[in-house]
Amino acid sequence: EVQLVESGGGLVQPGGSLRLSCAASGFTFSSYSMNWVRQAPGKGLEWVSYISSSSSSIYYADSVKGRFTISRDNAKNSLYLQMNSLRDEDTAVYYCARDRGVVVVDAFDIWGQGTMVTVSS
């Protein structure tokens, strides 16, 4: 079964750090570009970051640029998001999501179940 499972969420104080992980299974992880998408409580979806299959291309939303770092370990079938200098407005469910195509930028066909990050003092 094709699956993505996030972990690492929790409660953190403003200015703090957190590292999210996403474990992939059931497909050739190293062939696919991956993304992080977040959803604040009661709000819509916001794309956060993209990483290509080989990690050669990385992009961030302006709202997290300079604070968040995306990375992956293809040997461990894992995707990561290091979040530093966290703000109240970073509170959200964080999803990892797979690009459906292996060649070009594409829609997201597989999503994880999400992990909740709460930034609060």
Task: Point out which residues bind another protein (CB under 8 A).
Answer: 35, 44-47, 50, 57, 59, 61-62, 95, 100, 105-109, 111-114
| Choice between 75 and 107, CB closer to another protein | 107
Q: What whole-number distance in Å separates Cα of residue 54 and Cα of residue 18?
A: 24
Backbone angles phi, psi at 9, to 5 degrees: -70, 170
Distance in Å, CB of 96 to another protein, minimum:
11
Distance in Å, CB of 11 to another protein, minimum:
20
Distance in Å, CB of 59 to another protein, minimum:
4
Vertex 97 angle, CA 109 and 66, to 5° = 145
For 46, left (φ over 0), alpha (ψ -120 to 50), or beta?
A: beta
| Choice between 35 and 53, CB closer to another protein | 35
